[in-house]
Structure 1
Amino acid sequence: MDPRAFYKISYGLYVVSSSYNGRLSGQIANTVFQVSSEPPMIAACLNKKNFTHEIVKSSKVFAVSVLEAETPLTFIGRFGFRSSRDFDKFEGVDYEIGVTGAPVVIQHATAIFEAKVVKECDVGTHTLFIGEVVRAELRRDAEVLTYADYHRIKKGKTPKTATVYFDKQS
């Protein structure tokens, strides 16, 4: 199997966030997509090892911030390469508490969504959380950051917990 083929599937780059018992959590994700128009539903695929996975599983809500193309690599790194277990990713970041109680990152967001989890699908290393959208808002009409641009232009790395990570040894 050639893992490079998987990099040809188109992805965006998002902040998926949630809260539970006063703990805020957020992470970078590349696998978020719309799954239904009536009712409007989106899905977010999160690694079971990530703290955000634990928080979404407990709270049954999540928010998604669609990142703009101009998002700095340092901002992506803040949400993508540290754990909310031991680092406050939201300190100094422009966000609001949404209608679901989840933190919604508005800094560098072209659009935001909030959803209530209606189904969870175990997909191996990850869980696919399917949520009914309770809020959708266009924040600014800007180009979105794709996962391809993150690698090609920003020279970003793929963390081991990403859906598209393949161990170079396998």
Structure 2
Amino acid sequence: MANIDMKAMFSLTYGMYVVSTNLDGRLNGQIANTVMQITSEPLCVATCLNKANLTTELISKSGVFSVSVLERDVPMTFIGQFGFKSGRDIDKFANVKYRMSEGGTPLVEDWCAAAFDAKVVRTVDMPSHILFVGEVRESVFFKEAPLLTYGEYHSIKKGKSPKTAPTFGFNALK
């Protein structure tokens, strides 16, 4: 990587999201910054998650996921519940306000401005991650609020990327 300046990656803009799923009544979710709309007809979004994460395993089996868009004012304790703990050890949805979409995925209401439910229509296997492409089946707008960007997560909230995040290598640049 002699010709790659990792600082250049900070010029890409990202939001911050809770990506969740439901497999046979088992809810799980995680913090992600890799979510984007990729088409409008049909309306599709994509997210890319580490293969080691429980959320990835459950989405692979359930074929559905939701994306909840985090507000800028979200406290680090909320981010920590979904981002720094494993659903193998805790119920990430304990004490979290959410509603179930018609498709059966949890749409997080706490600290979120909007949420989407999607059915997986394609996956792309990457070396360490899986890219899920989902057709949006439902969306809800909760409220007007400034949204948390990945840059603000680091500069304002002083957050770090966990080992399984695609941006983990950026921690050393701070």
Q: TM-score, normalised by structure 2?
A: 0.93
Give the unaligned 5+ runs of structure 1.
none
Q: Which moved more, 1:157-166 or 1:1-10?
A: 1-10
Residue 148 of structure 1, aligned match among 132, 146, 151: 151
TM-aligned CA deviation for residue 164 of structure 1: 1.0
SS of the equivalent of 2:169 reads: coil
Q: Does 1:100 align with 2:112?
A: no
Give the unaligned 5+ runs of structure 2.
none
Q: Does 1:157 align with 2:160?
A: yes
TM-aligned CA deviation for residue 8 of structure 1: 2.0
Q: For 2:11 and 2:102, how far apart are their aligned partners in 1?
A: 36
- Following superposition of structure 1 onto structure 2, how do residues 15-164 of structure 1 map, counting pairs within 5 Å? 15-164=18-167
Q: For 1:9 and 1:65, how far apart are their aligned partners in 2?
A: 20
Q: For 1:36 and 1:154, how far apart are their aligned partners in 2?
A: 32
| AA of the residue aligned to 1:123 | M
Query: What value does the CA root-mean-square deviation take over the aligned residues?
Result: 1.1
Deviation track 1:112-137 (CA, whole Å, cap 9, x = no partner) reads 00000000011221111000000112
Work out the percentage of aligned pairs sharing the same amino acid: 51
* Equivalences, count: 168
Q: In the alignment, is the contact (CA less than 8 A) between 1:110 and 1:138 conserved in 2?
A: yes
| AA of the residue aligned to 2:32 | A
TM-aligned CA deviation for residue 7 of structure 1: 2.2
Divergent runs of 4+, >3 A? none
